[in-house]
């Protein structure tokens, strides 16, 4: 039998490359696991955003009276939060709530008897919120929901991208790669894992150093001491070793 390699582009498919489907599947599984983890975190954020949106949709304005104000230290008031204890009436029932947050600077000078407008969910009247503080977060609710949707789309695109890259990594060297005869720079290592070693080839009298990769336990196609390999422009520093079994599977041997 003699080597008869067709011109590029050459026919090659994943099922012809031993282990390629497993390797591509592992990449896809890893990407999906990452997206699932991000999705789980996103769902927690989505529930929080949904609760905030539902509160703003259902809440009604209720007049209240400040009973007590707790302010942060003076140097922490810009951007800080004051805590109010407020008195208010919902459905004819007088109520008291503590820890109602509002902007600390706005609350300066407030004291017992100050009138305040509260947002109250009629279904949960015991948890009022100061009206300005509550609506201040509305833009972030919609922005957060848009961000979660965009994140889901980007996650799926990432899976597709990684899957495409894995498939191209397996097929491009065989379909369109430049086939070269490598000269190993060291004695070929004996390993049960992926075969890797430094080598070089010449093109137009220019020496090109590469790292050669090959499947373990496979006899490479040889021409004396040189080894057949494929190089692609996208990864010029790597060369894929063509072993005899793969060459036969691809039909590169003729009687």
pLDDT in tens, 203-223: 888 999 999 888 777 788 888
Mean pLDDT of the chain: 79
Element (H, E) at 135: helix 131-136
Q: Which of 34-43, 104-113, 163-172, 245-254 has the lowest mean pLDDT?
A: 34-43
User: Strand 222-223 vs strand 124-130: parallel, antiparallel, or unpaired?
Assistant: unpaired
pLDDT, position 207 = 92
**Which tops the pLDDT comparison, 120 or 235?**
120
Q: So what's the pLDDT on residue 255?
A: 57
Q: Which CATH class is domain 177-255?
A: mainly beta
Average pLDDT over residues 112-125: 87
The per-residue pLDDT for 228 is 92
Interatomic CA distance for residues 19 and 172, integer angstroms: 16
Question: Of 168, 175, 166, whose CA–CA distance to 11 is shortest?
Answer: 175
Average pLDDT over residues 155-167: 75
How much is the pLDDT for 87? 92
Provide the percentage of residues in the chain whose pLDDT is more than 90: 9
What is the CA angle 15-7-167, rounded to 5? 30
Backbone angles phi, psi at 66, to 5 degrees: -75, 130
Predicted TM-score (pTM) of this structure: 0.48
Q: Both tokens of residue 255?
A: 């009687």
Q: What is the pLDDT of residues 38-53, one digit of tens each?
A: 666 666 655 666 677 7
Q: Where in the chain is the domain with CATH 2.40.50?
A: 59-130, 177-255
Specify the pLDDT at position 147.
58
Q: Which residues of 149-180 are buried (b: 16+ CB within 10 A; e: fewer)?
A: eebeeebeeebeebbeebbebbbbbbbbbebb
Q: What percent of the chain shows pLDDT beyond 70?
A: 83
Mean pLDDT of the 227-250 span:
85
CB 84 within 8 A of CB 107: yes
| pLDDT at residue 146 greater than cutoff 70 | no
pLDDT band (50, 70, 90) for residue 182:
very high
Counting other chains too, the contacts that 232-238 makes at CB distance below 8 Å and 24 or more residues apart are 232/172, 232/173, 232/176, 232/177, 232/178, 234/168, 234/172, 236/208, 236/210, 237/209, 237/210, 237/211, 238/210, 238/211, 238/212, 238/213
DSSP state of 9: S
Q: Specify the 3-state DSSP secondary structure of 185.
A: coil
H/E segment holding residue 179? strand 178-184
Residue 198's pLDDT band (boundaries 50, 70, 90)? very high
Side-chain half-sphere exposure of 211, counting CA atoms within 13 A:
6
Task: Report the CATH number of the 59-130 domain.
Answer: 2.40.50
pLDDT for the residue numbered 218: 78
Other residues' Cβ atoms within 10 Å of the Cβ of residue 253 = 15
Average pLDDT rounded to a whole number, residues 72-88: 87
Confidence of residue 188 (pLDDT cuts 50, 70, 90): confident
């Amino acid at each position: 039998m003699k080597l008869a390699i067709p011109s590029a582009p050459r026919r090659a498919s994943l099922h012809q490359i031993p282990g390629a489907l497993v390797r591509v599947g592992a990449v896809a599984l890893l990407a999906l696991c990452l997206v699932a983890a991000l999705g789980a975190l996103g769902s927690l954020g989505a529930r929080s955003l949904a609760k905030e949106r539902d509160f703003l949709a259902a809440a009604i304005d209720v007049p209240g009276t400040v009973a007590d104000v707790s302010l942060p230290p003076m140097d922490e008031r810009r951007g800080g939060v004051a805590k109010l204890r407020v008195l208010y009436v919902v459905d004819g029932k007088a109520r008291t709530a503590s820890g109602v947050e509002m902007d600390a600077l706005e609350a300066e000078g407030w004291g017992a008897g100050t009138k305040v407008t509260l947002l109250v969910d009629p279904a949960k009247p015991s948890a009022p919120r100061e009206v300005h503080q509550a609506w201040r977060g509305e833009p972030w609710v919609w922005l957060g929901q848009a961000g979660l949707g965009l994140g889901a789309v980007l996650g799926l695109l990432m899976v597709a991208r990684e899957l495409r890259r894995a498939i191209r990594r397996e097929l491009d060297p065989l379909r369109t790669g430049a086939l070269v005869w490598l000269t190993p720079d060291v004695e070929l290592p004996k390993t049960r894992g992926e075969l890797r070693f430094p080598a070089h080839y010449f093109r137009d009298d220019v020496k090109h150093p590469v790292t050669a990769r090959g499947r373990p336990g496979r006899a490479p196609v040889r021409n004396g001491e040189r080894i057949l390999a494929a190089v692609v422009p996208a990864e010029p520093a790597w060369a894929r070793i063509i072993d005899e079994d793969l060459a036969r599977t691809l039909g590169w041997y003729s009687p």
